[in-house]
Structure 1
Amino acid sequence: MVPKCYTTGKASKKSDVYSFGVVALEIACGRKSIESTYEEQEASLVDWVWEACGNQMLLGVVDKKLSADFNVKEMERLPIVGLWCVHPPPSMRPSIKQAIKVLNFEAALPNLPSRMPIPNYDIPSTPSSEPTNLVH
């Protein structure tokens, strides 16, 4: 689930796209989105795949159980679309329709930044308390 849903409690089309992206990454990599058994730099699936993409090592994240028995062009698209869907600024995420077109080779791959942008989550502010006067 997209982190913003935890703070707002509300889902949206963009949060659904985020979830689709996480599932795409889980399928491509054969692992869960958070794995505490991995080293810190690999614990977050999104961070790990984005790092691999930026280092031109995208096929290195592919599920080892596939034993290289996959279509390389298709497998290159799946994690890239997954990253596009989990892009930290929701405005940079595609629609599901756009993502499916890329997966079906009906549209070009998106240009992603080599490093994952820093997420900026809107956290609802709480009203500040009035200072209290402790003078008796």
Structure 2
Amino acid sequence: MLGGSLDFHLFKGRSLLPWDIRYKIVQGLASALLYLHEEGDFCVLHRDIKASNIMLDSAFNTKLGDFGLARLVDHEKGSRTTLLAGTMGYIAPECYRTGMATKESDVYSFGIVALEIACGRRSIEYKHDEHLSSLVAWVWEAYGNQMLLDVADKKLSAEFNVKEMECLLLVGLWCAHPSHGMRLSIRQAIQVLNFEAALPNLPSKMPISNYDDIPNTSTIKTSQPNSLSITLPR
């Protein structure tokens, strides 16, 4: 793709993406994920949504690539038992316990990318204090301290639409909610990003993962071999 991958722009200095392009990219990614989850004959679980797998054409239209870990499931089932796969920093917390891929785990990864686009910071930054090395924890603390816009990418020099920035950050947190059952669907995320639905009222402190709402993996069968594939962020 002529525009390269999103991570080259956000983290490797290929170009400084202006705010309107960033918002267009996240909306395009959400539309791609909606198609995979809801609009085909089967639900496609991507399982590795991350900045380096988001490709951009010459007009910065979004293309989601690398389906090497993707799985097909029935729409009614919406989940898949497998061994842990994905990239650290983008893997939903419940996956470490169950290995189950779901629409919600894809939404979690989408939320991480949304936060990266808004903040210009990787999903994991070890240079920060340990409790704030996670992008989600860092943004959530700013939100709880009523300083949410302080996490906006400093490279933008405050040249962004404040309403859209707040919306993107809150959608990112909502999608990356630690509790599986509290995340919104990608269709709902699109509605909020388009200002067709209300912003969430999230708790001021980042919740702890709740495993009570995770489906029983023993009831879901797979006919394909299980796989273990975890990528470390670069």
| 2:99 is equivalent to residue 12 of structure 1 | no
Instruction: String of CA shifts for 1:88-134, please: whole Å, max 9, x gaps.
Output: 22111100010111111111101101111111347x9xxxxxxxxxx
Root mean square deviation, CA, Å: 1.7
| AA matched with 1:101 | Q
Number of aligned residue pairs: 124
Aligned equivalents of 1:10, 1:42: Cα separation in 2: 26
The residue that corresponds to 1:69 in the other structure is 159
Greater strand percent: which structure? Answer: 2
| 2:163 is equivalent to residue 78 of structure 1 | no
Q: Does 1 or 2 have the higher relative contact order (CA < 8 Å, sep 6+)? A: 1
- Aligned 1:84-99 pairs, distance under 5 A: 84-99=174-189
| AA matched with 2:157 | S
CA positional deviation for 1:40 = 2.5
| 2:187 is equivalent to residue 102 of structure 1 | no
Q: TM-score, normalised by structure 2?
A: 0.50
CA contact (8 A) 2:94 2:209 kept: no
Instruction: String of CA shifts for 1:35-77, please: whole Å, max 9, x gaps.
Output: 1112224311101100100111000000100111110000000
Q: TM-score, normalised by structure 1?
A: 0.85
Greater helix percent: which structure? Answer: 1
Following TM superposition, where does structure 1 have runs of at least 4 consecutive aligned residues deviating by more than 3 angstroms? none
Q: Which has the larger radius of gyration?
A: 1
Q: Percent same amino acid among aligned pairs?
A: 72
The residue that corresponds to 1:118 in the other structure is 208
Aligned equivalents of 1:7, 1:90: Cα separation in 2: 12
Unaligned runs of 5+ in 2: 1-90, 217-234
| Stretch of structure 1 that moved more, 39-48 or 89-98 | 39-48
